Amino acid sequence: MKPDHSSFPRLDGLGWLSAARRCPSPNFDARPDGVAVDMVVIHNISLPPDVFGGQGVEQLFTNCLDPDEHPYYAQIAGLRVSAHFFIRRDGGLVQFVSTEDRAWHAGVSSWRGRERCNDFSVGVELEGCDTRPFEPAQYARLVEVLRAVCARYPVRDIVGHSDIAPGRKTDPGPFFDWQALRDAGLPGVRSD
CA distance linking residue 138 with residue 149, whole number of Å: 16
DSSP assignment letter at 88: -
Cα 154 from chain centre: 17
Q: CB 77: neighbour CB atoms within 10 A?
A: 17
Residue 109 carries which DSSP code? -
58 carries an active-site annotation: no
Identified catalytic residue from 58, 125, 127, 144: 125
Q: What's the half-sphere exposure (Cβ side, CA atoms, 13 Å) at 161?
A: 24
User: Cα 115 to the chain's mean position, in Å?
Assistant: 18
CA Rg value for the chain: 16
CB within 8 Å of 121: residues ≥ 6 apart: 37, 38, 39, 40, 41, 105, 106
- Please give the Cα distance from 105 to 117 (Å, whole number): 9
Catalytic residues: 125
